[in-house]
């Protein structure tokens, strides 16, 4: 059972209380953008085996969106953070670097 702490209301919520919202930190491309960018934004996903950044919603709780950093291979949770950022905060990055030395960071946005 996956348990995430909602950074908005502070509740430790298990996955039955949460709704998964897919990959985080996508850069949005709309009308006027190139076909490559639009396709990439709409469909292509990193889908990593390892460290992953996701959007979640505390659906049966405070209802707020937030971000989570998680390992898809072990279900280890590195932390949750505000939805109002475009890339993971330094504190989360440090935790991940400590737990996963040599993790290959990608560019965000």
Partner 1 sequence: MKRYSAFAIAREALRHHSGWDRAWASPEPKKKYDAIIIGAGGHGLATAYYLGKNHGIRNVAILEKGWLGGGNTGRNTTIIRSNYLQDPSAAIYEKSRSLYEDLSQDLNYNVMFSPRGVMMLAQTQHEIRGYKRTAHANALQGVATEFIGPEKVKELCPIINIDGPRYPVLGALWQPRGGTARHDAVAWGYARACSDMGMHVIQKCEVTGIRRDGGKVVGVDTTRGAIDCDKLGIVVAGHSGVLADMAGFRLPVESLCLQALVSEPIKPCMDVVVMANTVHGYMSQSDKGEMVIGGGTDGFNNYTQRGSFHHIEETVRALIETFPMISRLKMLRQWGGIVDMTGDRSPILSKTPVEGIFLNCGWGTGGFKAIPGSGWGFAELMATGHSALCAEFSLDRFRAGRFIDESVAAGVAH
Q: Least Å distance between CB 51 and partner 1? A: 11
Angle ∠(45,50,51) on CA atoms, nearest 5: 75
Could you tell me if 79 and 94 are in contact, meaning their C-beta atoms sit under 8 angstroms apart? no
Angle ∠(56,86,36) on CA atoms, nearest 5: 95
Site string for partner 1, 80-109 (x = CB under 8 A): ------------------------------
Stretches 44-52, 59-67, 80-88, 95-103: which one binds partner 1 (CB under 8 A)?
Answer: 44-52
3-state secondary structure of 49: coil
Element (H, E) at 36: helix 35-42
Q: Report if residue 22 touches partner 1, rule: CB under 8 A.
A: yes
When the beta carbons of 19 and 85 are compared against partner 1, the nearer one is 19
Q: Least Å distance between CB 11 and partner 1? A: 18
Residue 16 burial (CB count, 10 A)? 9
Binding residues for partner 1, per CB under 8 A?
1-2, 15-16, 19-20, 22-23, 35, 39-40, 42-49, 52, 54, 72-75
């Amino acid at each position: 059972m996956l348990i995430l702490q909602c950074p908005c209301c502070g509740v430790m919520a298990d996955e039955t209380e949460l709704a998964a919202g897919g990959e985080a930190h996508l850069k949005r491309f709309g009308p006027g953008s190139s076909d490559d960018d639009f396709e990439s934004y709409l469909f292509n996903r990193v889908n990593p085996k390892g460290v992953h950044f996701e959007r979640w919603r505390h659906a049966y709780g405070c209802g707020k969106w937030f971000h989570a950093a998680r390992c898809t291979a072990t279900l280890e949770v590195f932390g949750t953070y505000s939805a109002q950022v475009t890339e993971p905060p330094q504190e989360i990055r440090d935790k991940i670097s400590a737990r996963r030395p040599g993790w290959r960071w990608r560019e965000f946005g």
